[in-house]
Amino acid sequence: MVNTTENSKIFHIAQKKRNGERITALTAYDFPQAQLVDKAGVDIILVGDSLGNVVLGRNDTLEVTLDEMEHHLRAVCRAQPEALVVADLPNHSYRTLNQAMESAQRLVGSGAEAVKLEGGTAIADIISSIVGSGIPVMGHAGLLPQTAHLEGGYRIRGKQPEEAEQIRMDVRAIEESGAFAVVLELVEKNLARDLSKQTSIPTIGIGSGTECDGQILVLHDLLGLAPGPFPRHANPPVHYFLEMQKTIEQWSDSVRNQSATR
Catalytic residues: 185
Secondary-structure percent of the chain, ordered helix, strand, coil, rounded to 5: 45, 15, 40
Q: Are 116 and 131 in contact (CB under 8 A)?
A: no
DSSP element (H, E) containing 26:
strand 23-27
Q: Which of 26, 9, 8 is nearest to 214 (CA)?
A: 26
Whole-angstrom Cα distance, residue 39 to residue 229?
27
The helices-and-strands tally (H runs, E runs) of the chain is 10, 8
- Give the span between the Cα atoms of 259 and 48, in whole angstroms: 47
| Exposed / middle / buried, residue 261 (Cβ in 10 Å: 0-12, 13-18, 19+) | exposed
- CB half-sphere exposure, 192, CA atoms < 13 A: 27
What is the Cα gyration radius of the chain? 19
Give the pairing type, strands 84-88 and 114-116: parallel
| Half-sphere exposure in the Cβ direction for 46 (13 Å, CA) | 30
